[in-house]
Amino acid sequence: MFNFLKEKLGLVKKEASGDKELIVEQGGFWTIKESKLEDVLWNLEVSLMEADVAVEVIAEIKSALKSELIGKKLAWGANIGEAVEGALRKSVTGLLSQQSFDFDKYVLDHAKPVVIMFVGVNGTGKTTAIAKVAHRLKGLKIGSVLAAGDTFRAGAIEQLSLHGDKLGIKVVKHQAGSDPAAVAYDAIEHAKARLRDVVLIDTAGRMQTNANLMDELKKVKRVAEPHLIIFVGDSLAGNDAIEQAKAFDAAVGIDAVILTKIDADSKGGAALSIAHAIKKPIAFVSTGQEYEQFQKFEAEWMAKRIFE
């Protein structure tokens, strides 16, 4: 994202002596002036908005930059662009580090079976994300059961079944149109009977504005009593993903987030905004279609990617 910002902000590698709009000479040093920094911050705000960063996140970044930069002394020949970039990198890394969640440790340490429910709208890659979690658990020698709780679409049941076949993992399913809460219940009972460690519950992708479908989701939650509810968000959806996360959190509560299509998100705004908006950690990011293209979210990794 920073290359995108540099183009917008004009943060080329200027020497301090060539950018006197931003600095004032003080005792052999250049000091960044508050009045002139406001222009840079305004351009930064516009750039971050274009990168789908939420307004409240932008305000926090600007505040952190002011604290870091105003009055900062730069040696002769110092590079203002680098000073702003360094402060911005520090601010972004701080925001990304505010929440953390070790999914693997949680599952390993928790009483079994661990019931995990996945929510989100259509088209975010939710079913594939569930399969990737199952693949990760299998690699950790943790047995899981998949619950085909998206009974509104026969195609969703088939898709999860195909993943189950590929991974060699049991998929509990009913006919299309069945009660998704009953599917979740049966999957949990199967896990208890077969001593499986984790139950991964797929749910119908639904728009957060559809009250009836959200009520159905609440029913699944009441029956399954999940230990974790994970929101799967499309990193390309921008501010829509933020509003979706807020709505699902208000309806059923969200414990963690999986961001999909992060490999196609050149601006990184969703990663900065979603976790901040609901104050919940990003557990994983999906970086491609293969099961292995799925990794634990790390603030340093994401910050480095943003500033490439």
- Peptide bond connecting 281 to the previous residue in cis, omega within 30 degrees of 0: no
Give the domains, in start order, of the chain with CATH numbers: 2-96 (1.20.120.140), 103-297 (3.40.50.300)
> What pLDDT does 17 receive?
44
Top pLDDT among 92 and 223 is at 223
Burial of 124 (0-12, 13-18, 19+ CB in 10 A): buried
Give the pLDDT band (50/70/90) at residue 48: confident
Dump pLDDT digits (tens) for 141-184: 999 999 999 998 888 999 999 999 999 999 999 999 999 999 99
The pair of structure tokens assigned to 224 is 């399954």
Top pLDDT among 105 and 26 is at 105
Distance CA 151, CA 106 (A): 29
108 HSE (CA, 13 A, CB side): 10
pTM above 0.85, yes or no: no
Q: Which amino acid is at 229?
A: I
